[in-house]
Amino acid sequence: MSNPDSFIDEVSEEVRKDQLFGYMRKYGWIAVLVVLLAVGGTAFVEYRKAQATQTAQATGDEILAALEIDDDADRAAALSAIEVDGGAGAITGLLAASNLTETGDLDGAVATLNEVALREDAPEIYRDIAALKSAMVADGGLPDTDRRAILDRLAVPGGAFRLLAQEQLALMDIQNGEIERALEQYSAIAQDAEVTGGLRDRAFSMIVALDGDLEALIGGLIGISADGDQ
C-alpha cells in the first residue's frame, strides 16, 4: 500500500507545483508591478526631498544676500523680488516692509504688510504680525476705520497679539480725544492675567499721564492677588 500512496503523493505534489507555476505565469506580473511601484515611489520621494532641500538652500542664500545690501531701499527691493511660498514668503515680506519703513515709504510698507496679511499659504501667526504692524503705521495711508477694524479683530480673546492690539486701540482713542475709553483699555490691559511686565508698566504710565486713578487700580490688583492666594 505504501507504493501506491507514495505515487499518489508525488502526483499530488506535481499537480500543486503545476498549479503554482500557472498562478505565477498568470498573476506574477502583479507582484513585479508592486515591487516596481514601491521602488519607484521611494525614489520619487527621495527626489522630491532633495529638490525641496535645494530650493530651501537657494532661498536662504537669496535672503542672506539681500540682507547684506547696505541701502534700505535696495534691500527692500531685493527682498520683495524673492519669489517663495509659505512662511518664508511671509518672512521676506515682513523684512521688506521693515526696510521700507526705514526709508520713509510708509505707503509701500503698509501695502507690503497687507499682502502678507492676506497670504493664505502663510502661517496665521505671520499674517497676524503683518496685520498688527500695518495698523500700527499711523501715517501709512490706511484709514482709521480700517485700522480699527484690523485691531478689533486681533484683540478678540485668545488672539496671540490681543493685548498689543488693545494698546494700539487705546492710542487711537487718545488721538480721537476719547480719554475715558482709552483709560478703560489700559485698565483692562493692566489687569489681564497674561500681560507682560513691560506692557503693564506702559499701561500704568499712560493711566498716570491721562490722570486716571492708578492707586485704585493697583489696590484692586492687590485685592485680586490676595483673594487668589487664599
What mean pLDDT is predicted for residues 148-166?
Answer: 92
Could you give the C-alpha distances from 50 to 44, 54, 56, in angstroms and in order? Answer: 10, 6, 10
C-alpha cell at 137: 503705521
| Grid cell at residue 43 | 525614489
Of the candidate ranges 10-19, 56-65, 88-97, the one whose mean pLDDT is the lowest: 10-19
> With a threshold of 0.95, does the pTM exceed it?
no
Residue with the bigger pLDDT between 97 and 139: it is 97
Compute φ and ψ for 142, nearest 5 degrees.
-90, 125
* Residue 116, C-alpha cell as written in the block: 502678507
> Per the structure block, which three cell numbers stand in for 109?
510698507
- Per residue in 198-230, pLDDT tens? 999 999 999 999 988 887 777 666 655 545 555
Helices (H), the chain: 2-67, 72-81, 86-103, 106-117, 124-136, 144-154, 162-175, 179-191, 197-209, 214-229
Q: Evaluate whether 122 touches 87 at the Cβ level (below 8 Å).
A: yes
- Contact between 142 and 110 (Cβ < 8 Å): yes
